[in-house]
Amino acid sequence: MPALQQKNMETWQVVRDRVLLYVRAMDLPPFEGLEIALESLKKANTYSIEEAMDSLAYTIGKRGLNKGVLDAQGEHIASVPPINKGVMVSKNFDRTPWLTALKIFIHRWTRDLFGPSRTR
């Protein structure tokens, strides 16, 4: 088997396994899951995982299976946490962490040796 054909076969197997794994995780009846995987792989007809997963998402949507997970009240539960797009404020970094660690150690050592300071 030529090297290019071997590589394409390995890539196709990865794409197939990814689609089957996703369908298996959906906890569908066995034949329905296989039918969805087969239909989406036939539509994609590609060696690209992205295109195969897009085809699978389309097939799942077409069959009305993308309802998501609902809680006890019937509200949709997101599968990912919400994205916080707030601004990150920079923090000053300690340029001499060894010196800071030494100061903390000496402060704790003197506190343990002599007791807490009464000046506060």
Average pLDDT of span 54-76: 77
The DSSP output letter for 70 is: E
For 114, the enclosing helix (H) or strand (E) is helix 97-114
Distance CA 85, CA 98 (A): 34
Angstrom distances, CA of residue 48 to CA of 1, 29, 53, 54, 56? 21, 27, 9, 10, 12
Average pLDDT of span 37-60: 86
In the predicted structure, residue 85 carries a pLDDT above the cut 70? no
State residue 5's pLDDT score: 66
- Burial (CB < 10 A; 0-12, 13-18, 19+), residue 61, is exposed
Confidence band, pLDDT 50/70/90 cuts, at residue 107: very high
Average pLDDT of span 95-106: 92
| Higher local confidence (pLDDT), 117 or 37 | 37
State residue 60's pLDDT score: 84
Distance CA 37, CA 33 (A): 6
Instruction: Convert the pLDDT of each residue in 17-36 to its tens digit.
Output: 888 888 888 778 878 889 99
The DSSP output letter for 85 is: -
| Higher local confidence (pLDDT), 105 or 117 | 105
Average pLDDT of span 105-110: 92
